């Protein structure tokens, strides 16, 4: 049996202590140099273990105050498959407080994003709004969203509105999405995502959404959900006819908003 890396041993130790309540929620952690001495590990190893614990919701770092045990790891956002609601609504339904932070905004040309341009059917010199948003539940990061909006339909965007509900903003602009498609897949964080999340060891659930206005592609969004903070659930129900035979009626797919 292979021995676990030192930082994983330290991470697992604290996860077990917090999970069992030996280290209670809100308890102040000792300074990292004391933890380093306790485990005979380098400062880099302790920092890596703490980053992993923080990204998974076992600890909370408060600048100027210290590191505290947290029970945020228990908060898992459940997304009903095919149910039409926003990420903010899903976070609220899970008993958490939603928050959106604009991480980046720019205007780019189609030639800078050839794969996206192909999906959105835009030309090389067409302009696109591009923004990255961080989605939180109780100040705990649960999703990174990357959105491309064609400037053909929205010439300008009030950037301040990107830290609220984008759906509401689009509705206020009297833009109505006619139809869309979505797909899910599993992936690992890129180097840029790992920097935001604080670890490259957490799997991500990638959701791709392509929205159209009438017959024109309008928006392409990639949501990357933190795997340990987000699950997809689906209720299954079998239907039977009057003779007791199971019917083969398919489940109806709803729309997916963000």
pLDDT digits (tens, 9 = 90+) for 186-229: 999 999 999 999 888 888 999 999 999 888 899 999 999 987 66
Same domain, 124 and 86: yes
What confidence category does residue 250 fall into, taking pLDDT thresholds of 50, 70 and 90?
very low
Integer Cα distance of 181 and 134 in angstroms = 22
Bridge partners (DSSP) of residue 136 are 99, 141
How many residues comprise the chain?
258
**Residue 83 shares a structural domain with residue 40:** no
The domain that holds 226 is classified in CATH as 3.40.1410.10
pLDDT per residue over 59-111, tens digit each? Answer: 988 888 899 999 888 775 555 544 445 777 777 877 888 899 999 999 999 99
Per-residue pLDDT tens digits for 162-193:
998 888 899 889 888 888 888 889 999 999 99
Residue-number span of the structural domain to which 216 is assigned = 75-233
> Is there a single domain that holds both residue 27 and residue 117?
no
Task: Report yes or no on 31 lying in a domain.
Answer: yes
Q: How far apart are the first and last CA of the chain?
A: 44
């Amino acid at each position: 049996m292979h021995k676990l890396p030192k930082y994983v041993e330290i991470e697992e130790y604290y996860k077990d202590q917090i999970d069992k309540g030996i280290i209670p929620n809100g308890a102040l952690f000792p300074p990292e140099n004391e933890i380093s001495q306790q485990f005979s590990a380098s400062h880099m190893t302790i920092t890596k273990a703490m980053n992993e614990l923080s990204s998974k919701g076992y600890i909370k770092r408060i600048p100027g105050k210290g590191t505290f045990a947290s029970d945020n790891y228990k908060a898992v956002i459940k997304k009903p498959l095919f149910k039409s609601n926003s990420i903010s609504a899903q976070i609220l339904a899970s008993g958490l407080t939603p928050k959106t932070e604009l991480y980046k905004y720019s205007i780019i040309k189609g030639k800078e994003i050839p794969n996206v341009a192909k999906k959105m059917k835009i030309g090389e010199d067409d302009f696109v709004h591009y923004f990255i948003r961080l989605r939180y539940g109780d100040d705990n990061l649960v999703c990174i969203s990357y959105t491309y909006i064609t400037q053909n339909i929205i010439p300008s965007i009030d950037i301040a509105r990107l830290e609220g509900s984008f759906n509401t903003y689009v509705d206020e602009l009297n833009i109505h999405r006619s139809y869309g498609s979505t797909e899910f897949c599993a992936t690992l964080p890129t180097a840029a995502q790992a920097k935001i999340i604080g670890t490259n060891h957490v799997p991500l659930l990638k959701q791709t959404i392509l929205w159209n206005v009438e017959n024109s592609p309008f928006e392409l969004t990639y949501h990357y959900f933190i795997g340990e903070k987000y699950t997809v659930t689906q209720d299954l129900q079998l239907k039977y006819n009057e003779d007791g035979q199971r019917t083969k009626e398919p489940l109806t797919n709803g729309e997916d908003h963000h």
